[in-house]
Amino acid sequence: MQTTAQDAPTKANQVTHLESLDPATGEVIGRFEATPPENLPLIVERAREAQKKWAARPLRERCALLRRLRDVLFARRAEIAEVVTRESGKPRIEALFSDVTVAIDTAGHYARCAPRLLRPERVPHHNLAVKAKSAWLEYEPYGVIGIISPWNYPFAIPVGEIVPAVVAGNAVVLKPSELTPWCGALVGEIFEQAGFPRDLVQVVQGGGEVGAALVDARPDKIIFTGSVVTGRRVAEACARHLIPSVLELGGKDAMIVLADADLDVASSAAVWGSFTNCGQACVSVERIYVERGVAEKFTDLCVAKTQRLKLGHGLDADTEVGPMIRESQVARVEEQLRDARARGARVLSGGQRRADLGPCFFEPTLVTGVDHSMRLMQEETFGPVLAISAVENAGEAVRLANDSEFGLAASVWTRDTRRGKGIASRLKSGAVMVNDALSYFGICEAPHGGRGASGWGHTHSRLGLMELVQVKYVDVDRLARWPKSWWFGYDQELSVAADAFLEAMFAPGWRRRLASLRGALKTVFRGHRI
Ligand code: NDP
């Protein structure tokens, strides 16, 4: 069994089980054994043993297992989507398009590309003095990767990170969110079914204390996805242990709508980008800056489209917006809205709880009259609220979009793609999409990672794979029997020759360089006394 490890006795006051709740109804839909935090050192140790054998297996065998994984994911896609929906609340269609698609595609992608991406890479040398060397970079696994993941994409995020970790030759200990233990258990079960070796992918269940114990058990790297507050704690703990980390944290993504944009398309994108997963995506559109000339028309379209959205249980086929994950998140959104209203914002649509539907339902909400003094425009909302602000021009839109501690993703909407590209290059953001939003998260080749408070490092793509390997520079000297010019045996003659060498290498003009060549060669052809 490579899922939850339960070997050590539990203490009397420890949480022994986690309850999985359906956020739409508040019903308990499953119970999962919690991992005692004191078991983490043993679990990481077992992962270390499994990793040694795994890394020794040829890459093509590791890729073959990824193909098996892809097939298992595909065969079980309906079940995965149902579990994701029941536990996270998102509509089943979104579970299919996001969690399931990303997982299957990632497995297939790295199975295909890992041999090319992990192949040793030659390092050519420009300097004459080292021309006799041949060198290359080798990519070696770290060992054990600790992955700590959130509840909002409880399948796509961990699988998207485990797959590149294992193909690179690492073992993984995954700590899913305590709000989505069923998804976490399913991840472990599916890797096991695909035939990954025992203890290579282990899932530990529990709350923050289990995450903290995972870091303290000193895996070789931590890939953390979650809030800024927890990310800071994790980074501090990693620093104490000198463990490197990738931090995928929150966002406050801006959408810039220029006057020449197709307003019908842009408004559909705005409404979907804000309310998909009930606004609980790190790359949700949270702020819109629209040029004043089209602001009214654009806003009216957004209001009309928002009001047509169907709220309900994610398993109902026509549900477009499900519940938020917990009542505490709803309260946080209400708090931001209260602050925004008190400072003059106007709610054009929504703004209320829908207790008639369930404990965590909140109406998709559209707000205007906002400014950056409001918490709504500065803090991550992580809920179904879209704030629209009219701006004079693109310059003001860029300035406001960049006025945030976050820098995860952004989008620009215009018919003039050249202008869109120009604006993209001025945005302080890990990713910018022109005439699309969010979807880059599902593109295997697209690196995902933020700036500022949105974190550091990358997941997905070649860059995400490179986070999971240690780079080794290997250098082979072809003149093995030749002592080097710079070795001991220092004297006046070498001092003069060294200067000639610098002349030959760096002096302005080829005549001067050529003239020094003979003197420079004395650094090579000399007697080494030592
Ligand atoms: P949290 O930061 O609350 O939790 C993230 C994970 O960390 C959970 O598994 C949590 O466990 C665990 N954890 C909590 N305390 C500790 C600790 N002291 N040490 C180690 N691990 C700990 O985030 P949420 O789960 O609420 O997720 C929402 C946040 O994630 C949002 O801010 C969102 O923007 C961000 N996010 C970022 C993404 C990105 O790629 N940039 C993608 C998706 C989400 P438990 O849940 O059991 O308490």
How far apart are alpha carbons 383 and 387 in whole angstroms?
Answer: 12
Binding site membership of 364 for ligand 1 (Cβ less than 6 Å): no
| Ligand 1 centroid, distance to 227 Cα (angstroms) | 5
**Tens digit of pLDDT at every position of the chain (530 positions):** 334 444 444 455 677 999 999 999 999 999 999 999 999 999 999 999 999 999 999 999 999 999 999 999 999 999 999 999 999 999 999 999 999 999 999 999 999 999 999 999 999 999 988 999 999 999 999 999 999 999 999 999 999 999 999 999 999 999 999 999 999 999 999 999 999 999 999 999 999 999 999 999 999 999 999 999 999 999 999 999 999 999 999 999 999 999 999 999 999 999 999 999 999 999 999 999 999 999 999 999 999 999 999 999 999 999 999 999 999 999 999 999 999 999 999 999 999 999 999 999 999 999 999 999 999 999 999 999 999 999 999 999 999 999 999 999 999 999 999 999 999 999 999 999 999 999 999 999 999 999 999 999 999 999 999 999 999 999 999 999 889 989 999 999 999 999 999 999 999 999 999 999 999 999 988 887 77
> Is residue 451 within 6 Å of ligand 1 at its C-beta?
no
φ/ψ bin of 281: left (φ > 0), alpha (ψ from -120 to 50), beta (otherwise): beta
| 189: annotated active-site residue | no
Strands 171-175 and 144-148 turn out to be parallel
What pLDDT, on the 0 to 100 scale, is given for residue 13?
62
One-letter amino acid identity for 91?
A: P
Residue nearest to atom 35 of ligand 1 (CA): 226
Residue 382 beta carbon below 6 angstroms from any ligand 1 atom: yes
Strands (E), 171-237: 171-175, 201-203, 221-225
Q: Which of 225, 324, 329 maximizes ligand 1 atoms within 8 Å of its Cβ, making it the mutation to test the pocket?
A: 225
* Residue 248 known to be catalytic: yes
Give the residue whose CA is nearest to atom 42 of ligand 1: 282
Return the number of other C-beta atoms located less than 10 Å from residue 104's C-beta: 20
Please give the pLDDT value at position 11. 53
In whole angstroms, give the CA distance from residue 458 to residue 460.
Answer: 7
Q: How far apart are CA 165 and CA 106, in angstroms?
A: 12
Q: Are 181 and 32 in contact (CB under 8 A)?
A: yes
CB 174 within 8 A of CB 202: yes
Give me the pLDDT at residue 3, please: 40
| Burial track 197-220 (b if 16+ CB lie within 10 A, e otherwise) | bebbbbbbbbebebbbbbbbbbbb
* Residue 460 CB less than 6 A away from ligand 1: no
What is the whole-number distance in angstroms between the Cα of residue 219 and the centre of ligand 1?
18
251: Cβ below 6 Å to ligand 1? yes
Q: How many CB atoms lie within 10 A of CB 166?
A: 28
Closest to 311 measured CA to CA, from 321, 325, 303: 321
SS3 content of the chain, % helix, strand, coil (to 5): 45, 20, 35
DSSP for 452-466 reads ETTEES-BSHHHHHH
**Amino acid of residue 90:** K
For residue 12, the model assigns a pLDDT of: 54
The distance from CA 133 to its chain's CA centroid, rounded to whole angstroms, is 38
Catalytic residue among 248, 286, 379, 380: 248
DSSP of 250-304? ---EEEEE-TTS-HHHHHHHHHHHHHGGGG--TT-EEEEEEEHHHHHHHHHHHHH
Task: Measure Cα distances from 335 to 141, 154, 342, 351 in Å.
Answer: 45, 26, 11, 11
Q: Which of 282, 325, 380 to mutate to test the pocket of ligand 1 (most atoms within 8 A of CB)?
A: 282
Q: Which of 113, 183, 238, 282 is catalytic?
A: 282
Residue 371 DSSP code: -
pLDDT tens for 262-299 read 999 999 999 999 999 999 999 999 999 999 999 999 99
From atom 19 of ligand 1, which residue's Cα is the shortest distance away? 212
- The backbone torsions φ and ψ at residue 510, rounded to the nearest 5 degrees and listed phi first, read -70, -30
Ligand 1 neighbourhood includes 212 CB (under 6 angstroms):
yes
**Structure letter (DSSP) for residue 98:** I
Q: Is ligand 1 within 6 A of the CB of residue 452?
A: no
Check the CA dihedral 514-518-524-528 and report its sign. negative
